[in-house]
Amino acid sequence: MSETSPKLRAELEGIPTYKPGKPAAAGGPVAYKLSSNENPYPPLPSVLERVTTAACDLNRYPDMACAELMDELSERFGVPHSHLATGTGSVGIAQQLVQATSGPGDEVLYAWRSFEAYPIVTQISGARSVQVPLTPGDVHDLDAMADAITDRTRLIFVCNPNNPTGTVVRRAELERFLDRVPGDVLVVLDEAYREFNRDTEVPDGVELYRERPNVCVLRTFSKAYGLAGLRVGFAIAHEPVAAALRKTAVPFGVSQLAQTAAVASLRAEDELLGRVGSLVCERTRVVDGLRGHGWTVPETQANFVWLRLGERTVAFAQACEEHGVVVRPFPGEGVRVTIGETEANDIFLKVAEAFHKER
């Protein structure tokens, strides 16, 4: 056998691997997964029924144009088809956006800590990550981000609400920021948790996009709509950007099951948003409970809470796991805990109460 191996791009060296949330331990008495911001509710019967029917055609390729889903989205958001693109989850679209805008020598700017896919997709394209620390209150520091723009900046991610802190940026500060961004730099508003937001000062990215050709909005069916397993998300952007997304898409990437489920979910939106409402109530209960036990919790508008535990992060995650809930530790920084089933949230609150007393 030859000693040499295929030449791979040097940029791939040292790419951080995406760490999926740990699955709930099998075999334990109770095991709840609060580590991936998933929706704890099972698929709606109406959605499941359409997906089951669609499965009869698995020998066929999906509709490459995602026509039915595009029609539905176009009507719902009041945007032309030419401003829409679907993808294999919004992570897939984020990767396409970086690929379409940024290469070696270019810079991709985002807050840190934020969504862990951003450094990965940036490095895959050979571009350089410029990470701007969150404020001490764990919010995007938009002034510092604007200051960090250079003539190499090609794309800026703004994750609103931010994963993993749940914090938001509001209309006035976001508009002020957008006014400072040069028109040839793409701003991606990642609104994966938009449906969980209850702060009326948080702008709808779709409204901001209308007046701004350099703004792209990312949405997903993975969180509020409960379809994480099917991999479908979409982008709303002006034509050159949306067209670039169609060019960079893997052909037939979005499966027919995913397209069908997404359409069925939009049609069952009232029911799904009712579930989101219940999760928001649970969020309030969890945050109030934590604060009542003495914890400092940043205001969250997403389906998770952030505990800045620093050096005690791993110990806390272990304590949760011992009691049957799996959370998401970022060692040395903090723990992100998804709002899940009531029983799971109760366990988490109990562990947090005991842990806070111990210190």
Ligand X SMILES: *Cc1c(COP(=O)(O)O)cnc(C)c1O
Which stretches of the chain bind ligand X, using CB under 6 A? 37, 89-91, 115, 159, 163, 190, 192, 220, 222-223, 228, 233
Beta-carbon contacts of 283 under 8 Å, excluding residues fewer than 6 positions away, are: 196, 300, 303, 305, 339
Q: How far is the CB of 15 from ligand X (least distance, A)?
A: 17
Q: How far is the CB of 10 from ligand X (least distance, A)?
A: 27
Residue nearest to ligand X (CB): 89
Question: Which of 195, 324 has the CB closer to ligand X?
Answer: 195
Question: Which of 91, 309 has the CB closer to ligand X?
Answer: 91
Q: How far is the CB of 359 from ligand X (least distance, A)?
A: 29
Closest CA to 51 of 263, 267, 271, 276: 263
Q: How far is the CB of 203 from ligand X (least distance, A)?
A: 17
| Alpha-carbon gap, residue 85 to 76, rounded angstroms | 14
Closest CA to 220 of 159, 166, 174, 270: 159
Question: Which of 192, 307 has the CB closer to ligand X?
Answer: 192
Q: How far is the CB of 311 from ligand X (least distance, A)?
A: 25
| Alpha-carbon gap, residue 130 to 133, rounded angstroms | 10
Residue ranges of alpha helices (H) inside the chain are 45-54, 67-77, 89-101, 117-124, 142-147, 171-180, 205-211, 239-248, 256-267, 269-292, 313-322, 342-358
| Alpha-carbon gap, residue 117 to 134, rounded angstroms | 17
Question: Which of 138, 351 has the CB closer to ligand X?
Answer: 138
Q: How far is the CB of 233 from ligand X (least distance, A)?
A: 4
Question: Which of 35, 289 has the CB closer to ligand X?
Answer: 35
Question: Which of 222, 256 has the CB closer to ligand X?
Answer: 222
| Alpha-carbon gap, residue 148 to 190, rounded angstroms | 19
